[in-house]
């Protein structure tokens, strides 16, 4: 005898990573738009530190935007995501080390969690909670910018201003995407 079982939402974590100018936020917005078309309840978060384009929206370099909730720390996401089926998180590298556990909790509760962030800082060092997020993700998508020096796939966001702080919000005036070889040349430069 066949018994119909109620389908339980399968939670998952998807990570979109890469250098600056690679289309991470654009891909996040694209996935969230598709979830909305499927009539899923979507909520999006960003760190309060990210005010480059907007304090209230996630905005790609191509000026596509998505309304978002700015939060101080990762624990601020859980309660505000209670009714959502899909949770988007942009600029994950700026969040605290509690973000992977928050994402795990959301996924365990049946939510699709889509996280976008820089995998490495300007020195080529894994950035913030991104390594742990990539390790626990069900799916990792690495997107690539194009090296502005040679046209190959970029490896890192090279900082072109003289500032050694790890976190320096910036755009094309402060960073350029470089492939591994052009990055090594720039460091020797």
Local confidence band at 60 (pLDDT 50, 70, 90 cut-offs): low
- Here the CATH number for the domain that contains residue 102 is 3.40.50.300
Local confidence band at 8 (pLDDT 50, 70, 90 cut-offs): low
**Residue 97 pLDDT:** 97
Number of folded domains that form the chain: 1
Residue 91 a catalytic site member: yes
Closest by CA to 49, choosing from 67, 66, 70, is 70
pTM, to two decimals: 0.88
Question: With helix as H, strand as E and coil as C, how does 67-112 read?
Answer: ECEEECCCHHHHHHCCCCCEEEECCHHHCCCCHHHHHHHHHHCCCE
Kindly state whether residue 162 falls inside one of the protein's structural domains. Answer: no
The whole domain housing 38 covers 12-145
Q: Which residue has the tokens 């490495």?
A: 120
Closest by CA to 137, choosing from 16, 4, 10, is 16
Which position among 14, 27, 91, 176 bears the catalytic label? 91
């Amino acid at each position: 005898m066949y018994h119909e079982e109620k389908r339980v939402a399968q939670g998952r974590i998807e990570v979109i990573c890469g250098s600056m100018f690679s289309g991470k936020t654009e891909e996040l917005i694209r996935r969230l738009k598709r979830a909305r078309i499927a009539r899923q309840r979507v909520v999006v978060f960003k760190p309060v530190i990210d005010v480059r384009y907007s304090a209230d929206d996630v905005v790609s370099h191509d000026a596509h935007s998505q309304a978002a909730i700015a939060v101080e720390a990762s624990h601020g996401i859980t309660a505000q995501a209670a009714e959502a089926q899909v949770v988007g998180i942009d600029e994950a590298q700026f969040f605290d080390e509690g973000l992977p556990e928050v994402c795990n909790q959301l996924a365990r509760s049946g939510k699709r969690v889509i996280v976008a962030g820089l995998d490495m800082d300007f020195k080529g060092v894994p950035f913030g909670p991104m390594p742990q997020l990539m390790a626990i993700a069900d799916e990792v998508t690495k997107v690539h910018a194009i090296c502005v020096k040679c046209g190959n796939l970029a490896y890192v966001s090279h900082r072109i201003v003289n500032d050694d702080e790890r976190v320096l919000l910036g755009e094309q005036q402060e960073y350029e995407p470089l492939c591994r070889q052009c990055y090594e040349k720039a460091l020797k430069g």
